[in-house]
């Protein structure tokens, strides 16, 4: 038996406060299901006064196992722990990064979802789906805001797609990414087109990037797509093909700084996401691949978990339980955030 210790990211505690260790262990337990090594006993312990997440494995971790651990949102450093000798032996992390890690952190704005929490959602989505990152994963954020989820996905090497109802917001994200790629000298192409649905049922504007780390990526067809659509997520199944996405990940507006919008010209905002989800879930379900995973974060103060689970079930999603019910945590006085994880059979 081998014991491993994970040192948490210093920024992790600032996101979740005293609940950080609990959420880390839940994420770690989900990762166990995709690892080749048989791992158990996820627990939090102090070593020399510092909090670590520990687990036990029947054999030493393989390279792919180390990659999975390295990608966890809270993992800052990985060690083999010798409790007899009281020694931490460092293990080199195996992190895969398509773009630089500052892509999602430079852009600051009110109501932005924390990058580490976004990383948590992406990890849970991939680890709970029937797909792996070797399959050129396509990710949709159907409520993309200014694109934190898209940028985190790009860093992992996903093809990323987002829908946001505000044209100004999407244009700002487009110009930010374009300037970033130019500054970093990443090879890329970009374009934008405006289009409409049948009988002009809706209008939208598509901003599209093809991105490579070098010219060679384009020659070998290894570039990644990032697409941002200024339009209504209600029409997701008109904007994209059926069974197109491996993952759908979104952070629903909390009803505090941002409300929920279902129409482009809606004059008032609603705190509860119920109307938004009722309108959009059929389209989201259609564009998700069988075996794909939907992960949504929301404020339980404005919409109870039981109601959200029932709503997802009504539209054909299979909601996962057990450890997946352990992610609720307090963000501030008005936001108690939770995650729901659901699959398409």
DSSP assignment of 156-210: HT-EEEEEES-HHHHHHHHHHHHHHHHHHT-EEEEEEEEEE-GGGS-EEEEEEEE
Q: What is the DSSP string of 110-158?
A: TTPPPHHHHHHHHHHHHHHSS--GGG--EEEETT-TTSHHHHHHHHHT-
CATH of the domain at 217: 3.40.50.150
Domain-embedded: residue 102: no
Are 31 and 123 a contacting pair, CB within 8 Å?
yes
pLDDT for position 95? 81
Whether 135 and 233 map to the same domain: the answer is yes
Domain-embedded: residue 138: yes
Q: Long-range contacts for 196-203 (Cβ within 8 Å, ≥24 apart)?
A: 197/235, 197/238, 201/235, 201/238, 202/231, 202/232, 202/234, 202/235, 202/238, 203/231
Whether 14 and 145 map to the same domain: the answer is no
Query: Is the pTM of the predicted complex or chain greater than 0.85?
Result: yes
pLDDT for position 11? 73
Q: Which of 84, 119, 126, 87 is nearest to 104 (CA)?
A: 119
pLDDT for position 196? 87
Are 46 and 52 a contacting pair, CB within 8 Å?
yes
Q: Show the low-confidence residues of the chain (pLDDT under 70).
A: 12-18, 134, 255-271
Rounded to whole angstroms, the Cα distance separating 295 from 341 reads 5
Whether 337 and 231 map to the same domain: the answer is yes
Rounded to whole angstroms, the Cα distance separating 155 from 162 reads 15
Domain-embedded: residue 258: yes
Count CB-CB contacts under 10 A for residue 272.
19
Which of 22, 57, 91 marks a domain boundary?
91
Q: Are strands 224-230 and 159-164 parallel, antiparallel or unpaired?
A: parallel
Are 302 and 335 a contacting pair, CB within 8 Å?
no
Coil, helix or strand for 65?
helix
Whether 249 and 309 map to the same domain: the answer is yes
Whether 65 and 188 map to the same domain: the answer is no
Domain-embedded: residue 104: no
Whether 132 and 256 map to the same domain: the answer is yes
Q: What are phi and psi for residue 71, nearest 5 degrees?
A: -85, -5
| pLDDT 10s digits, 266-278 | 433 456 899 999 9
Rounded to whole angstroms, the Cα distance separating 342 from 319 reads 4
Domain-embedded: residue 237: yes
Tokens of 254: 């909390």
Whether 10 and 141 map to the same domain: the answer is no
Which of 91, 126, 149 marks a domain boundary?
91
Question: In terms of residue numbers, what domain contains 316?
Answer: 115-343
Per the structure, the count of domains in the chain is 2
CATH of the domain at 82: 3.30.70
Tokens of 107: 């852009």
Tokens of 136: 């050129």
Whether 210 and 328 map to the same domain: the answer is yes
Which of 91, 125, 152 marks a domain boundary?
91
Q: With both helix axes pointing from N to C terminus, report the angle between 305-314 and 274-287 in degrees, rounded to the nearest 10.
A: 40
């Amino acid at each position: 038996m081998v014991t491993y210790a994970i040192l948490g990211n210093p920024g992790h505690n600032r996101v979740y406060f005293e609940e950080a260790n609990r959420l880390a262990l839940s994420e770690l337990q989900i990762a166990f299901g995709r690892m080749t090594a048989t791992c158990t006993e996820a627990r939090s312990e102090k070593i020399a006064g510092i909090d670590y997440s520990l687990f036990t494995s029947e054999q030493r971790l393989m390279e792919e196992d180390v990659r999975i651990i390295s990608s966890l949102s809270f993992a800052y450093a990985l060690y083999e722990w010798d409790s007899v000798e009281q020694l931490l032996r460092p293990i080199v992390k195996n992190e895969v990064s398509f773009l630089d890690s500052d892509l999602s952190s430079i852009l600051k704005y009110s109501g932005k979802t924390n990058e580490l929490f976004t990383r948590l959602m992406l990890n849970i989505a991939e680890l709970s789906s029937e797909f792996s990152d070797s399959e050129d994963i396509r990710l949709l954020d159907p409520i993309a805001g200014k694109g934190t989820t898209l940028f985190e996905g790009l860093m992992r090497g996903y093809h990323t797609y987002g829908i946001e109802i505000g044209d100004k917001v999407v244009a700002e994200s487009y110009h930010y990414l374009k300037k970033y790629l130019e500054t970093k000298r990443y090879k890329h192409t970009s374009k934008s087109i405006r289009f409409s649905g049948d009988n002009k049922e809706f209008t939208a504007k598509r901003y599209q990037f093809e991105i490579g780390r070098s010219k060679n990526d384009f020659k070998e067809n290894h570039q990644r797509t990032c697409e941002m659509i200024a339009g209504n997520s209600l029409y997701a199944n008109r904007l994209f093909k059926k069974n197109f996405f491996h993952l759908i990940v979104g952070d629903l507006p909390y009803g505090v700084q941002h409300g929920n919008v279902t129409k482009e010209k809606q004059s008032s905002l609603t705190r509860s996401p119920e109307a938004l989800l009722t309108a959009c879930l059929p389209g989201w379900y259609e564009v998700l691949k069988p075996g794909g995973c939907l992960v949504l974060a929301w404020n339980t103060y404005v919409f109870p978990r039981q109601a959200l689970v029932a709503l997802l079930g009504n539209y054909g999603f299979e909601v996962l339980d057990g450890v997946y019910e352990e992610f609720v945590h307090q963000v501030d006085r008005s936001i108690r955030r939770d995650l729901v994880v659901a699959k398409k059979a």
